[in-house]
């Protein structure tokens, strides 16, 4: 039995930074990773997808060249091998950065293998037993593969194996019209594939407001992505060299023939094969590890950080989990997960930046509120760039003047949303932005104007 002060299981978005902090606090520390250092974000999530989105945007802008007075002669072709090679290079740099950081850290023992609990303070890996009084679980999540008829008879992609694609699928059928599915939908359409999205709900990204879902649908349909909503009873079958996807939508049955299928129907935590029962760590029925406001599980000395605790499904929330744990162990002991304001992006083009409550959530809360909305088509900078799709919207608490939530669906929305995020963290009234002078000509310069024209919700 090897004795440590601390063990980190999983080298995702929180584990490596936490391991470095533990080492810097002179704790004898081990980190265990069973696959790729950097986890989902670095290897099969944020970084590769955003790199591919950038290639897809380049293809899109080349096709739009004529609108801007730029003449391109000859056919426009996307070289998928080069697209993949560019993505691989960016991913490799990040992956090697984290791997090298971990393996070369003085005072950190790195184990490459599957870690699992033998008891509340013992973890086994590659036949060795490691003991520590502090154990941190950062095992992340994987693509959910639902039990759908015919699925095991076909070959399908998830967000992981689609990263190996270096050819153009003729017709990609994407099951799931939420954040991950929509990024791939627009990307592959721009690369040149036919794309169909099949979504079970009555609208895309159903957690967002109706106007956001509708506009995102319009943006994708304008580029030729076919979208089928309200789809039920989805099944798959091989048909010659194609895959037939059948669903029934409002009673109307339809078969779509595609060349490839991507499953994008949510994520499942990697808690099932961790031996949590041997440690006595509680999960909910979805396998999400239950934690308190400082991210400690029901077993003292065992923490769960990142996507596996269900407190956020993002890289920034996972990293923030590390900060919270580090603060409570070694710092001011004041940081709590409940202080976090939820924010995220949907990286289609133009992107959606989101923070706080949606309009519907504010309505449901019964709070007295004000709303401001501005179409991108009114914004000079958006017109100059011929990027007028989308809108921005903000919700204000009518009593405190504080911002409750916002979305910016439009060019630069993923960056500009930080104006609202930071104001919310500062707990400052919206008048701070309303009275600020913003740079001309920018998209952000219209936010004070939007705030001058708030209406009761």
Ligand X SMILES: Cc1cc2nc3c(=O)[nH]c(=O)nc-3n(C[C@H](O)[C@H](O)[C@H](O)COP(=O)(O)OP(=O)(O)OC[C@H]3O[C@@H](n4cnc5c(N)ncnc54)[C@H](O)[C@@H]3O)c2cc1C
Residues engaged in binding ligand X (CB under 6 A):
9-14, 32-36, 39-41, 45-46, 49, 114-116, 138-141, 159, 180, 270, 274, 306-307, 313-316, 318, 347
Cβ closest to ligand X, residue 14 vs residue 197: 14
Beta 141-143 vs 343-346: how paired, if at all? unpaired
Cβ closest to ligand X, residue 313 vs residue 371: 313
d(CA 142, CA 120): 24
Cβ closest to ligand X, residue 17 vs residue 374: 17
**Shortest spacing between CB 206 and ligand X, in angstroms:** 18
d(CA 140, CA 148): 24
For 423, residues 6+ apart whose C-beta sits below 8 A from its C-beta are 403, 430, 432, 433
Task: Name the token pair of 37.
Answer: 């250092």
Cβ closest to ligand X, residue 318 vs residue 423: 318
**Shortest spacing between CB 111 and ligand X, in angstroms:** 8
> Which pairs from 31-36 meet CB under 8 Å and 24+ separation?
31/7, 31/102, 31/108, 31/109, 31/110, 31/111, 32/7, 32/8, 32/111, 32/112, 32/113, 32/114, 32/115, 32/123, 32/125, 33/102, 33/110, 33/111, 33/112, 34/112, 34/113, 34/114, 34/115, 36/95
In Å, what is the CA distance from 423 to each residue of 154, 446, 449?
49, 16, 16
**Shortest spacing between CB 414 and ligand X, in angstroms:** 9
Cβ closest to ligand X, residue 274 vs residue 406: 274
**Shortest spacing between CB 385 and ligand X, in angstroms:** 23
**Shortest spacing between CB 436 and ligand X, in angstroms:** 28
**Shortest spacing between CB 395 and ligand X, in angstroms:** 23
d(CA 6, CA 189): 47
Pair 375, 391: CB distance under 8 Å: yes
Q: Taking the C-alpha atoms of 198, 203, 206 and 210 in order, what is their torsion angle to the nearest 10 degrees?
A: 160
**Shortest spacing between CB 404 and ligand X, in angstroms:** 22
Cβ closest to ligand X, residue 23 vs residue 288: 288
Beta strands in 260-334 (DSSP E): 260-263, 267-269, 302-304
Cβ closest to ligand X, residue 29 vs residue 138: 138
Cβ closest to ligand X, residue 115 vs residue 350: 115
Cβ closest to ligand X, residue 45 vs residue 353: 45
d(CA 182, CA 215): 13
**Shortest spacing between CB 8 and ligand X, in angstroms:** 9
Strand, helix or coil for residue 284: coil
In Å, what is the CA distance from 445 to each residue of 147, 376, 395?
49, 12, 18
**Shortest spacing between CB 102 and ligand X, in angstroms:** 11
């Amino acid at each position: 039995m090897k004795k440590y002060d601390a063990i980190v299981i999983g080298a995702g978005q929180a584990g490596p930074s936490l391991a470095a902090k533990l080492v810097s606090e002179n704790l004898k520390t081990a980190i265990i990773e069973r696959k790729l250092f950097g986890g989902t974000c670095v290897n099969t999530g944020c970084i590769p997808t955003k790199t591919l989105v950038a290639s897809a945007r380049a293809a899109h802008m080349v096709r739009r060249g004529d609108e801007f007075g730029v003449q391109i002669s000859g056919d426009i072709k996307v070289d998928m091998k080069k697209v993949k090679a560019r993505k691989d290079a960016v991913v490799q740099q990040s992956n090697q950065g984290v791997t090298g950081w971990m393996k070369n850290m003085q005072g950190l023992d790195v184990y490459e293998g599957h870690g699992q609990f033998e008891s509340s303070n013992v973890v086994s890996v590659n036949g060795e037993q490691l003991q520590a009084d502090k154990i941190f679980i950062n095992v992340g999540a994987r693509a959910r593969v639902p039990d759908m008829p015919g699925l095991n008879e076909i070959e399908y992609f998830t967000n992981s194996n689609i990263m190996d694609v270096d050819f153009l699928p003729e017709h990609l059928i994407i099951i799931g019209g939420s954040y991950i599915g929509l990024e791939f939908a627009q990307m592959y359409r721009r690369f040149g594939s036919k794309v169909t999205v099949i979504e079970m709900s009555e609208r895309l990204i159903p957690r967002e407001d109706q106007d956001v879902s509708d506009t995102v649908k319009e943006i994708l349909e304008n580029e030729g992505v076919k979208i089928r909503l309200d789809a039920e009873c989805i099944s798959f079958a091989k048909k010659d060299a194609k895959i037939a996807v059948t669903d029934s939508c409002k009673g109307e049955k339809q078969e779509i023939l595609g060349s490839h299928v991507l499953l994008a129907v949510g994520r499942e935590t990697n808690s099932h094969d961790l031996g949590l029962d041997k440690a006595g760590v509680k999960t909910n029925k979805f396998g999400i590890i239950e934690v308190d406001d400082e991210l400690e599980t029901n077993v003292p000395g065992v923490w769960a950080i990142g996507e596996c605790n269900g407190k956020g499904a993002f890289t920034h929330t996972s990293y923030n989990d590390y900060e919270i744990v580090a603060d409570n162990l070694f710092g001011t002991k004041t940081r709590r997960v409940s202080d976090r304001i939820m924010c995220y992006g949907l990286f289609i083009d133009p992107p959606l930046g989101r923070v706080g409550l949606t309009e519907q959530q504010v309505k449901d809360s019964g709070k007295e509120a004000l709303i401001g909305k501005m179409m991108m088509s009114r914004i000079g900078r958006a017109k100059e760039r011929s990027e007028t799709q989308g809108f921005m919207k903000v919700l204000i608490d009518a009593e405190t003047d504080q911002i409750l939530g916002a979305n910016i669906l439009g060019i630069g929305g993923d960056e500009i949303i930080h104006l609202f995020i930071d104001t919310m963290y500062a707990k400052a009234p919206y008048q701070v932005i309303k009275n600020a002078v913003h740079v001309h000509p920018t998209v952000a310069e219209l936010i004070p104007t939007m705030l001058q024209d708030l209406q009761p919700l």
